[in-house]
Amino acid sequence: MGILGPSFTQATETSRLEVQFEQTVDQSFEELAFKGSLAFKEKLTTYLEEYVAQSVPEKDFVAWENGTLPVTTMQEWMERDFITSPPMKRRERMQARIKRWIEIEVKRFEDAKEQRELKSEALKRLRAFMGYWPKPDLAKLFISFLKEEKLSVSPFIKKKTLLYEDIAPMLYIHQMLYGIEREDRFDHIVIDEAQDSSPFMISVLKERTRPGGFTILGDLAQGIHGSEGISSWSSFQEVFADKGISYVKMERSYRSTMEIIEFSNRILSQMKHSPGQAIPVFRSGQEVLVEQRGKDDICKWVKQMEQKQAQTIAVLTRTKEESADVYAHLQSQGVTATLLQASDRTYRGGTSVMPIYLAKGFEFDAVLLTDVSQVLFR
């Protein structure tokens, strides 16, 4: 997985959606939001600084009898020569410096054979010595931090598969320990649908991008990843607090009729963190119809829409299990429909049944939401 190496893989977007809507990972929305916050980043920074401080060898290096490199000399090298390098680069430079010290010190012996034997033994001892300053397993290091903070650990990360919530922390751990290579930096980053990104993720990307190299676009009303994203643009403004930013708010909507936008505004105004009201252009249509229907009415509704010449009809549920149940019911009533799943690569139109999180980006002539309640859609 790029910077983190081939041993890591990224979970699919479907897995990310299932965590949100199917709740396949046992953790609260509050915890999920915290993992994407700058406060979480600060705690992780403190943990890593303590880890680095404890990982440096604290004893002399003994190459051979009466051939000792004092720990004070190594500490001087660290503070004087390696201080600007990231921790793991310091480790590499320290190992190279000790090798060079061995090559110089062994020349004090006149016998060539003795030189070779002492050098060979010293290099073996150096390998053992560097074991006191081991290269960290990034996943185990992150899991250890989560456990110390009494936060849940994703079952995916134990297999080195990263959910979205784990990507920013893991990249940050790598950046803290190994630094950022020149070829891994960006001149400019454009992020669309940014409402589903976390402040932590934006902060990590900021550290890899030249000053002023960001364009961030999004709509708070279209967030589908809940606590993984943001509820206010001020969350990103905090990331760029030390830099000049330009914030532009576009309120006018050309996408839907006045009736649909006004209906949507009434729903959005009830949200805990309301994203604000859209202003419609003057394009009128039918009033939005709100009805309570039973399961048997789904078939009647689909047939009514077909009679009205609707070419694309969608029945949207909260979960894939509910989609399968509705699809089976339609089939039993003789209604031709398609059960759309995350693994599907084609869309054939007609009547489709799917979890609501798979509907983003689609446009339908008619849509029915099932089991709309404060419990399932909060």
Decide: 313 and 362 in contact? Cβ < 8 Å: no
Last residue of a domain, one of 130, 145, 170: 130
Asked if 365 and 350 sit in the same domain, the reply is yes
Q: Identify the band that residue 242 occupies on the pLDDT scale cut at 50, 70 and 90.
A: low
pLDDT band at 174 (very low <50, low <70, confident <90, very high): very high
Do 145 and 212 reside in the same domain of the chain?
A: yes
pLDDT for residue 50: 92
Q: Are residues 144 and 45 in the same domain?
A: yes
- Is 13 a residue whose pLDDT tops 80? no
Q: CA angle 236-254-275, nearest 5°?
A: 30
Range of the domain at 373: 291-378
Contact status, residue 55 vs residue 87, Cβ threshold 8 Å: yes
> Of 130, 151, 179, which residue constitutes the final position of a domain?
130
pLDDT at 323: 93
Contact indicator for 317, 371 with CB cutoff of 8 Å:
yes
State pLDDT tens for residues 17-52.
776 676 655 567 788 889 999 999 999 999 999 998
Distance CA 200, CA 206 (A): 10
Whether residue 221 is found in the same domain as residue 153: yes
Q: Are residues 151 and 17 in the same domain?
A: yes
Domains of the chain: total: 3
Q: What is the pLDDT of residues 216-231, one digit of tens each?
A: 999 888 887 767 888 8
CA distance 121 to 106: 11
Rounded to an integer, what distance in angstroms lies between the CA atom of residue 307 and that of residue 301?
Answer: 10
CA distances from 142 to 43, 56, 204, 286, 340 (A): 12, 19, 16, 53, 36
Model pLDDT, residue 1? 59
Are residue 75 and residue 181 in the same domain, yes or no? no
**Dihedrals phi, psi of 365, to nearest 5 degrees:** -75, -30
Which of 130, 146, 165 represents a domain boundary (last residue)? 130
> 118 with 146, same domain?
no
Query: Would you state the pLDDT for residue 292?
Result: 78
What values do phi and psi take at 210, rounded to 5? -65, 155
Instruction: Identify whether residues 325 and 200 lie together within a single domain.
Output: no
Q: What percent of the chain has pLDDT over 90?
A: 50
pLDDT computed for residue 378 by the predictor: 62
Residue 319 lies in a domain: yes
In a domain, 88, yes or no: yes
R_g of the chain computed on alpha carbons? 29
Residue with the bigger pLDDT between 160 and 149: it is 149
User: Same domain for 337 and 221?
Assistant: no
Torsions phi, psi of 316, nearest 5?
Answer: -110, 130
CA distance 228 to 206: 18
